[in-house]
Structure 1
């Protein structure tokens, strides 16, 4: 019985049935293989991510986490910041001449590329006004170094460390090791980082230490902080330090050996197109041609003072919502309402959405005011109390407060991760603070005393501009015009220039119906007509008038053309270009035939300023008629306008060799592959040496810059000072003794030695050196005066607001604790 149960017999019918079922299943699986494969991939994805995370090195995890933190600091937090990054350049102090004979030769500054920051001197500070891209330039260096070092098995060329001085914390303790303090400061920005691991990396490999928000340090503490940074940099000899600062108050860093570099944002005629292309890719949108009317608005905005950040806001508003307002505050307002504060949860009562959004904006404005002006932290509980105080009594019983609370908690404008709430980007904090102040002014009808006190403060510049676009800024404008008109005739008219240009800029960016517009126009006209005005200032004011008055300024420029003073006529010609039309080509053509070389060039540039195809074709036709020198001016004008690049390329085939030479010169300004290819063809194939030489020169200009930042000059190492001391039988000394000899050269030297001494002090001078430089203002030599004035401006700017260091205690006295 057992044998019969355990035996096996082949059943043909069952086998056939099983085969049919297996075949059917296989056929179904084959037909749905794509769907099944996709589902399996979805099921495997979490495991693959877990496996990848565990396989990555700690360094890779750290780099990815740091980049994720930094991405939040960038406007719109792009997934791949390199897609939308337009690298700025930096103005760095040039190397000083080696001999007295070269005192008048060589530039005082050189341009550096963004990548050059990673080479050269190991202590740098990047300075510029808010909105110029200091934080972005600093952050993008982390992506720049994110290349695998195969030899050392590291995911970066240097170990990156980010320190944000705006985050709460005390000054470094002098008794604690600098490396430990660095690690502790870094964890304020990246709390998930382990201090012990950071210390180990800093001690064992080259590092890149990026310090943001130097200006958040109180003025009276900056000397102490700079001294500590010097000690920390000395303790890490393989480290590269780059600090982002404002345009003023960074003098202690220079004393600590940091070379200051002025940021030059990439703002030109081509910037809107590059931003449009980059953000189209970043947002996953098909790349389409940028509409001409929108391109013109963005170019107008650049001329009216848009920062790179504001250009980024404009292009994102257009790509996301197909809107392109003129005024900057309109761009901010539109993004705030559409992208950052959408109201959900009121679908059953859509008529309440505007009220909910207004309450949310009012709450954000009050939050920004507390953070910006009162400098006190706001916890979630305080934010809730603020919401309850702002909610109208009639709305407290319905769900409006809950809807607003949800909108505030989910907005990308705020960071809720810590114990207190703060804005991620200062641009939005300034804009919303301006909204709060504008509402207060409208309610109290009082002059904005606080804003008048900060009229020239660079850290308040964007806030003030927003306020002027939102509120009645007449008291601010009148204060600027009053000071500008009073000081414009002084020998040093810098404050007058700043005041007049600020008034013009705020007016151009404000609504067209503001009452003070006529005051600004009248003041600008009055100053432009002054015969003794500096030529550069006159031109800037003439351009500002065109931006403020638009076509209404055209009659004034026509009238100014009849003035006997040549400088006034030159500015008027440019004004015709900024406000004229195709009918003015005849007038400008006549000016081109004037006997004065300056008038001829001004007429050519005015034709280019018209910005129309007829003007570009007219310039191309003038090429054979112009002098050799003016041919180069025409070629440069055509190269600055992308719309006229085809005309310049066409000129490279002209029969006239001088026209081809000028065209080759112009192509050197165009950083496009086709321009480089055409220059290579000219350098290789043109029959005339003059053209080939011009093409080779343009190609050399397009080569990547090899300039790097240099260390601040040390007086004892200056060859010209050694030679001057030897000539006069003086000892050079070291350190402070050499600096005293430099000051002696300022006081008793000849013109070349005074020029070089002033140029040296412009880089390393301190406030106590100003009297010696101010004495040079009485010199007869204009070159000496110019060098001294430049040094005075540099020293005053970098030490503005910095208290004098305490005097050293007399010898033999004991220091006691207070």
Structure 2
């Protein structure tokens, strides 16, 4: 053995060959190691691609069904497809928090003037507040709740998204590769949800929904496809009808949502919901309100309907009778605030020549008489539809169609849906509410205001019911008990005013109450603006006169309120001179509000006045006018083009703040040219920043999921200043409460953004104090937070118990 070691030698050539080979192998392994994740991803992608090719027929069938449903999921589907009459729906964008990028000079001047009021969205209907399409709102993988009152277009908004995805439209963005699984929640078998904890899986429930809608010879392939798309996070669930469910129904189907999130935590979900969207924020659902039609939208709707009616229904414009032409000309100027459903009924009735009037009761009556003809028996139809209200259910067992021709007609036109379990459900709360109000009235209303508005069908039914009753004393307690600081009772029942006659006791009492609250200087301005918005929604003949009185008031705050709310009312050119006269003031904020009001009028005098202010006004006023000119195709755009050719530096600089908001190639070209060729550095610099801002996604108001509180940068920093730590095991309530009490306004604003997500009753005194704050941002955000808590079903105590209000 020792001799072996003694005579052991390494053969030099073999040694160096081995060393060289080992070194090469080592470097190869190190290099390949970097590529192992990519190789793994490539293999997974290849497997997924093969699987998709195998199931491509199923994908086509799923998209074909979704597209067909989306194109016909509206009231006039018997006449036109969605795309033929659709006005692109928008949502009112919100900031996730108040940590505004201070370096972004293009923060909207309008946004600083108009408060965020998702509870009364009509306030901003004619103003260029930040808005966003549903497709854009989904680009960062957030799950959304689309909210709003009945008839405002929630179903239409979902359908528009589905069409963009299925037809591969560029505005779908990152959703183009998603599979839209689109259905009504009423199609989900309740018994399968009840069995979720035992054997049922989400993909099996979705399979049960789609197999009834899609024709396929291979059921097992459809089930595998659904499971595969969910596992690969390649599906987006678009679920309509949640806003139709009663409280007890919602609680059942909420389990379905919770199970989806538990099984597939990254899958995107979009649902509709009524004003009270229940407590879904804990599951990272973000509520976004549908924006009502602006005056420009109303004009476009009338134009599109008229053009399609002439080309597709009449085949010729000459087929319109002289009476129809007169009626159309009259209706085309009708821009009173209504729901999108009611505007549709208005133009539809005008084109048919059957319109009985422009009040809402006439619109609904005209529609059903046209639809049902001699079957429109008020007593029988009231009895049929009131059964939904009586049973407190959107889903009820269907009576025999053979003995109920009215029901059959409503099913045939898509107003009532039917499920496989022999259930029927109404698809339109306002249509159901109108018909159910023909049923003999109950002696009293045994519901709280929260119970009424937690179900859209209740809210609609009682709104129509009160319009028919001579004695509406059952609603008086809600008018008297006005519940500060939000006065939510008044705001909720105020939406019923549009159905009532001018002699209605309820109407007179509520309008009297609204006016007294509007004139109450102790109430926060943004709350009083909500009252004005509701008053405008009543379409009362005294609206313009009241605005004129406010504009001629010696109190600047009253003038500000009148200016900011003027665009909610039906446009009345008679108040334009009052707005212009009020501009003769040194109050810069008031001047901004007055200019903002003038931008909502399609009037030469208003436009001329704005042009003068663009040339000679204070810089922030010039920016605000430029922003609004961007929203006026034609004259507004021409004014901005002309402004860029003027010698005045401030005019050119201000015009850039409008051009950046025009999503057209010509606007981009002007900005690009200005950034290079303008003679003044200060103008070139703003143009360069505008070009950069075009590319910045973070400047778009796209919602995204919030990080856990223990990973939130601001909360971590704030806790550290208080020598405290954050742990997943302990809620951050004490730290949030401490920040709410902080005198630093930035800390208070940031803390307010956490309140609804990590709620605690101890927050209420500070929330009420913040609503009373002189700081505009804090007051508005606190009110918005209280509104979110109400929507989530939280019981709000009276501020009187804290010695406030």
Q: Distance in 2 between matches of 1:418 and 1:701?
A: 51
| C-alpha deviation, 1:621, in angstroms | 3.7
The answer to whether the 8 A contact 1:713-1:764 is kept is no
- The correspondence for 1:208, drawn from 236, 259, 267, is 236
- Which residue does 2:607 correspond to in 1? 616
Q: Secondary structure at 2:765's aligned position in 1?
A: helix
CA 1:473–1:271 in structure 2 vs 1: closer, same or farther (change >3 Å)?
Answer: farther
Q: Deviations over 1:672-704 (max 9, x none)?
A: 666566656666665555555566666777778
- Which residue does 1:794 correspond to in 2? 788
- The correspondence for 2:584, drawn from 593, 597, 605, is 593
Superposition pairs of residues 649-664 of structure 1, within 5 angstroms: 649-664=641-656
- Which residue does 1:813 correspond to in 2? none
- Which residue does 1:498 correspond to in 2? 491
Q: Secondary structure at 1:75's aligned position in 2?
A: coil
CA 1:421–1:672 in structure 2 vs 1: closer, same or farther (change >3 Å)?
Answer: farther
| C-alpha deviation, 1:249, in angstroms | 4.5
Superposition pairs of residues 725-764 of structure 1, within 5 angstroms: 725-733=719-727, 735-737=728-730, 739=732, 742-743=735-736, 745-746=738-739, 751=744, 755=748, 758-764=751-757
Q: Distance in 1 between matches of 2:577 and 2:743?
A: 52
Q: Distance in 2 between matches of 1:247 and 1:221?
A: 16
| C-alpha deviation, 1:440, in angstroms | 1.7
- Match status 1:91 vs 2:93: yes
Q: Deviations over 1:326-383 (max 9, x none)?
A: 2233223223222x325xxxxxxxxxxxxx2433x65444322223432386666545
- Which residue does 1:806 correspond to in 2? none
- The correspondence for 2:386, drawn from 361, 369, 374, is 369
- Match status 1:267 vs 2:293: yes
Q: Distance in 2 between matches of 1:563 and 1:365?
A: 48
| C-alpha deviation, 1:597, in angstroms | 2.4
- Which residue does 2:260 correspond to in 1? 232
- Match status 1:244 vs 2:244: no
The structure whose RCO (Cα within 8 Å, separation 6+) is larger is 2
After TM superposition, the score normalised by the length of structure 1 is 0.69
| C-alpha deviation, 1:200, in angstroms | 0.4
- Which residue does 1:431 correspond to in 2? 431
The answer to whether the 8 A contact 2:67-2:166 is kept is no
- The correspondence for 2:190, drawn from 139, 164, 169, is 169
| C-alpha deviation, 1:557, in angstroms | 5.1
| C-alpha deviation, 1:553, in angstroms | 5.2
Q: Secondary structure at 1:166's aligned position in 2?
A: helix
Q: Distance in 2 between matches of 1:573 and 1:158?
A: 44
- Which residue does 2:44 correspond to in 1? none
Shifted more, 612-621 versus 317-326: the winner is: 317-326
Q: Distance in 2 between matches of 1:506 and 1:613?
A: 35
- Which residue does 1:481 correspond to in 2? 479
Q: Deviations over 1:55-85 (max 9, x none)?
A: 9923323322343344443332376534425
Q: Distance in 2 between matches of 1:563 and 1:300?
A: 29
Shifted more, 565-574 versus 198-207: the winner is: 565-574
Q: Secondary structure at 2:236's aligned position in 1?
A: strand
| C-alpha deviation, 1:711, in angstroms | 1.9
The answer to whether the 8 A contact 2:238-2:270 is kept is yes
Q: Distance in 1 between matches of 2:551 and 2:701?
A: 43
| C-alpha deviation, 1:628, in angstroms | 2.7
Q: Deviations over 1:168-227 (max 9, x none)?
A: 513342122524443355248637577633330133232222233345666568677656
- Which residue does 1:335 correspond to in 2? 367
Superposition pairs of residues 414-813 of structure 1, within 5 angstroms: 414-415=416-417, 418=420, 420=422, 422=424, 425-427=427-429, 430-441=430-441, 446=443, 456-457=453-454, 459=456, 460-468=458-466, 472=470, 474-475=472-473, 478-484=476-482, 487=483, 490=484, 492-495=485-488, 498=491, 502-503=493-494, 505-512=495-502, 514=504, 517-542=507-532, 545=535, 552=542, 560=550, 563-571=553-561, 588-608=579-599, 611-641=602-632, 644-645=635-636, 646-647=638-639, 649-670=641-662, 687-690=679-682, 708-733=702-727, 735-737=728-730, 739=732, 742-743=735-736, 745-746=738-739, 751=744, 755=748, 758-766=751-759, 769-775=760-766, 777=768, 790-800=784-794
The answer to whether the 8 A contact 2:246-2:455 is kept is no
CA 1:686–1:275 in structure 2 vs 1: closer, same or farther (change >3 Å)?
Answer: farther
Q: Distance in 1 between matches of 2:176 and 2:609?
A: 53
- The correspondence for 1:255, drawn from 282, 287, 308, is 282
Unmatched 5+ residue regions in structure 1? 1-54, 150-154, 343-355, 388-403, 803-818
Q: Secondary structure at 1:341's aligned position in 2?
A: helix
Larger Rg: 1
CA 1:507–1:696 in structure 2 vs 1: closer, same or farther (change >3 Å)?
Answer: farther
Q: Deviations over 1:78-103 (max 9, x none)?
A: 7653442513235355267599xx9x
| C-alpha deviation, 1:631, in angstroms | 2.7
- Match status 1:326 vs 2:358: yes
Q: Distance in 1 between matches of 2:387 and 2:774?
A: 53
Q: Deviations over 1:713-745 (max 9, x none)?
A: 312212333334444544432x23253664575
- Which residue does 1:38 correspond to in 2? none
Q: Deviations over 1:562-584 (max 9, x none)?
A: 65433234445678996997676
Q: Distance in 2 between matches of 1:224 and 1:413?
A: 24
- The correspondence for 1:358, drawn from 373, 376, 397, is 376
Count of residues paired in the alignment: 690
- Match status 1:81 vs 2:82: yes
The answer to whether the 8 A contact 1:75-1:425 is kept is no
Superposition pairs of residues 275-314 of structure 1, within 5 angstroms: 275-276=301-302, 278-279=304-305, 284-285=311-312, 301=335, 304=337, 306-314=338-346
| C-alpha deviation, 1:384, in angstroms | 4.8
Q: Distance in 2 between matches of 1:259 and 1:731?
A: 27
Q: Secondary structure at 2:93's aligned position in 1?
A: strand
CA 1:773–1:636 in structure 2 vs 1: closer, same or farther (change >3 Å)?
Answer: same
The answer to whether the 8 A contact 1:126-1:245 is kept is yes
CA 1:435–1:452 in structure 2 vs 1: closer, same or farther (change >3 Å)?
Answer: farther
| C-alpha deviation, 1:146, in angstroms | 2.2
Unmatched 5+ residue regions in structure 2? 1-54, 117-129, 170-174, 319-323, 797-805
CA 1:691–1:744 in structure 2 vs 1: closer, same or farther (change >3 Å)?
Answer: closer
The answer to whether the 8 A contact 1:298-1:311 is kept is no
Q: Secondary structure at 1:716's aligned position in 2?
A: helix
CA 1:693–1:369 in structure 2 vs 1: closer, same or farther (change >3 Å)?
Answer: farther
CA 1:475–1:122 in structure 2 vs 1: closer, same or farther (change >3 Å)?
Answer: same
CA 1:538–1:422 in structure 2 vs 1: closer, same or farther (change >3 Å)?
Answer: same
Q: Distance in 1 between matches of 2:381 and 2:571?
A: 44
The answer to whether the 8 A contact 2:147-2:277 is kept is no
- Match status 1:142 vs 2:135: no
The answer to whether the 8 A contact 1:477-1:516 is kept is yes
The answer to whether the 8 A contact 1:447-1:475 is kept is no
Q: Secondary structure at 1:762's aligned position in 2?
A: coil
- The correspondence for 2:140, drawn from 116, 120, 126, is 120
CA 1:791–1:405 in structure 2 vs 1: closer, same or farther (change >3 Å)?
Answer: closer
CA 1:648–1:300 in structure 2 vs 1: closer, same or farther (change >3 Å)?
Answer: farther
CA 1:95–1:71 in structure 2 vs 1: closer, same or farther (change >3 Å)?
Answer: same
Q: Secondary structure at 2:651's aligned position in 1?
A: helix
